[in-house]
A and B are shown apart, each in its own frame.
Chain A
């Protein structure tokens, strides 16, 4: 089968694609920098009024249990910390397009969103247990690991149904079906998108290798955490569209992270608690 849209076309025609707000991307880059400060992060967020409003709403939610109301961004960064505010900015920035239905993947409204933050939550638990990488970075990587699906769904909505049927008929994983039909898969599209946005390398790697973590030459711990988080989140039923069940699980990720298969139940148990906490927190931006 031949493909009609190249991966470069998908990524280059960004005007038609949902994008993370520029301010959220700048915040992410700024927090990676050694010179970042509460003031510099706040200065970036306030350039985007809608983003600022959503971040403040999140900061004032019951989740953080603050005794007084935070009324401006610099204060939010000081009280919650730079990393928390970075994640809030990303969550607030990605929600508007992650919440959309991805009909090509048989995902209804908010299903991709719940899968994205569910994977982020599960991957964060795995990172904490493994102590191999930053929980904060893994959260971001988990949140963005499937951005390729969002892009593909926008461009190839009509074709995705055929890919779904093809994958089912051939009993192959959905990314394999994408490669056979389109010549590329959502992991590669996500990687190109993440690279074009100048996202940190670890996040680009998680986009590209989250279904094939053994192939990641660099940042493998981050990729492994996202791979396991993706599995836990899918097992609990979040993001199970048409493609949800056919991906291979690489037990090597657990081995590399020093996690025993016997710990899967404990991770799942904690995931349920964490997911519900985040769901309550993030409902603030949907309100």
Chain B
């Protein structure tokens, strides 16, 4: 059942909403879908990260494209709607290894693993509360977040749709 505003979070997009909204991040391969939620302010945000780090010698065309620019930008957008970073709870999915690499292959090729690590490093640096993560593996994912219930689900071709976590406190403690 869809609730509130429907937001499709495409490549390098940052979407934020106050009040009920459904965020959908389609076709995450090596990309990362990161969601943050401030329950008290009822503000939710999502970013579709494609690469770990912006290039030093090139202007950033889309701020959501890189982990090191996209995460702070999403939080700043949420703050404009009244969210407070210290209250935010986060979840992330994606970062799959697309294609198999030989044992001698350069680790630079595994963009998925580097995306996940770069995102987590930024979140650790912010002392962010991470409710759940579903990263790595070899499946493409679609990540769906319904802010009215706080439920985050991940869908894969082989595994179907499963609940990753709930970002609302009531459900979190009930599940604990």
Q: Is B44's beta carbon under 8 Å from chain A?
A: no
Report yes or no: A235 in contact with B102, Cβ–Cβ below 8 A: no
A247 within 8 A of B: yes
Kindly report which residue of chain B lies nearest to residue A275, judged by CB atoms.
B11
- Per the 8 Å Cβ criterion, residues 10-52 of B in contact with A are 11-12, 26-31, 50-52
Given contacts A247-B99, A272-B62, 19 further A-B contacts (CB under 8 A): A106-B157, A235-B30, A236-B31, A236-B50, A237-B28, A238-B27, A240-B140, A240-B157, A242-B157, A244-B29, A245-B29, A248-B102, A249-B99, A251-B102, A251-B105, A251-B109, A261-B108, A262-B108, A272-B11
B 76-114 binary contact with A (CB < 8 Å = 1; else 0): 000000000000000000001111111011101101100
- Chain B interface main SS type: loop
Cβ contacts under 8 Å, A234 to chain B: 29, 98-99
- Whether the pair A244, B50 counts as a contact (CB closer than 8 A) is no
- Counting contact residues on chain B (CB < 8 A from A), the size range is 35 or more
Q: Is the interface of A mostly helix, strand, loop or mixed?
A: helix
Convert A156-181 into 0s and 1s, putting 1 for each residue whose CB lies closer than 8 angstroms to a CB of B. Answer: 00000000100010000100000000
Q: Check if B55 sits within 8 Å of A248, measured CB to CB.
A: no
Interface size of A as a range: 20 to 34
CB within 8 Å of B: which A214-263 residues: 231, 234-238, 240-242, 244-249, 251, 261-262
Interface string of B105-136 (1 = CB under 8 A from A): 11011011000000000000000000000000
- In the complex formed, the residue of A with least CB distance to B66 is A269
Q: Which residues of A are interface residues toward B (Cβ below 8 A)?
A: 106, 164, 168, 173, 231, 234-238, 240-242, 244-249, 251, 261-262, 264-266, 268-269, 272-273, 275-276
Please, which residues of chain B bring their CB within 8 A of the CB of A248? 99-102
B65 interface contact, C-beta 8 A = yes
Q: Of all chain A residues, which has the CB nearest B106? A: A261
Q: How far is the CB of B46 from chain A (nearest CB, A)?
A: 15
User: Which listed residue (B11, B28, B109, B112) contacts A261, Cβ 8 A?
Assistant: B109
- Chain A residue numbers with a CB within 8 Å of B65 are 269, 272
Q: Is A247 a contact of B109 with CB atoms below 8 Å?
A: no
B100-A273 in contact (CB<8A): no
A231 contacts B98, C-beta separation under 8 Å: yes
Q: Which 10 pairs between the two chains have the least Cβ-Cβ distance?
A: A237-B27, A240-B140, A261-B106, A249-B99, A237-B29, A261-B108, A235-B98, A245-B138, A235-B30, A248-B100
